[in-house]
Amino acid sequence: MGKLAMIAFGGNALLRAGGPTSFEAQCSNVESTCEQLIPLIKRGYDIVIGHGNGPQVGNALLRHEAGKQVFGLDAMPMDFCGAETQGSIAYMIETGMERVLKREGLERKIVSLVTRVEVAADDPAFQNPTKPVGPYYKELPGKADDANALRTGNARTGDPLRITDGPFARRGEPCAGVIGQDGAVYREDPAGRGWRKVVASPKPLRINNIELVERLARQGYIVITVGGGGIPVVQSEYGFQGVEAVIDKDLASALAAIEMKADEFYILTDVPKVYINFHKENQAALDCISVEEARKYLAEGQFAEGSMAPKVRAAIHFVENGGKQCIITEAGQLDNPACGTRITA
Q: What stretch of H or E contains 87? A: helix 78-104
Q: Is 249 a catalytic residue?
A: yes
Instruction: Quote the pLDDT of residue 154.
Output: 38
With 0.85 as the threshold, say if the pTM is over it: yes
Catalytic residue from among 10, 11, 142, 227: 11
Find all residues with CB under 8 Å of 180, minimum gap 6, and list them: 140, 141, 142, 149, 150, 186, 197
pLDDT at 142: 63
**pLDDT score recorded for residue 288:** 97
- Is 12 one of the catalytic residues? yes
What is the sign, positive or negative, of the torsion defined by CA atoms of 344, 13, 230, 244? positive
Question: What's the confidence (pLDDT) of residue 197?
Answer: 85
DSSP assignment of 246-261 equals ---HHHHHHHHHHHTT
Q: Which residues on adjacent β-strands are paired with residue 47? A: 5
Picking from 212, 187, 209, the residue whose alpha carbon sits closest to that of residue 198 is 187
Task: Kindly tell me the burial class for residue 194, based on how many C-beta atoms sit within 10 Å of its own C-beta (0-12, 13-18, 19 or more).
Answer: middle
280 is catalytic: no
CATH class of the domain comprising 4-121+202-344: alpha beta
Number of Cα atoms under 13 Å in the Cβ half of residue 340 = 24
Of 141, 116, 90, 133, nearest to 231 (Cα)?
A: 116
Task: Determine the pLDDT at residue 243.
Answer: 95
Give average pLDDT by consecutive 10-residue segment, the chain, 345 residues.
Answer: 91 84 94 96 97 89 91 94 96 98 97 97 92 80 44 36 43 58 81 86 97 98 97 94 95 98 96 95 96 97 92 98 97 94 97
- In one-letter notation, the amino acid at residue 84 is E
Of residues 29, 54, 58, 131, which has the active-site annotation? 131
Per-residue model confidence (pLDDT) at position 81: 94
Q: Mean of the per-residue pLDDT values for the chain? A: 88
* Domain locations along the chain: 4-121+202-344, 129-199
What's the Rg (C-alpha) of the chain?
20
Does residue 131 have an active-site annotation?
Answer: yes
Q: What is the pLDDT of residues 46-77, one digit of tens each?
A: 999 999 998 888 889 889 989 999 999 999 99
Question: Catalytic one among 177, 249, 273, 340?
Answer: 249
Neighbours of 181 (CB within 10 A): 13
Task: Fill in the amino acid letter for 13.
Answer: A
CA dihedral 137, 138, 139, 141 (to 10 degrees): -20
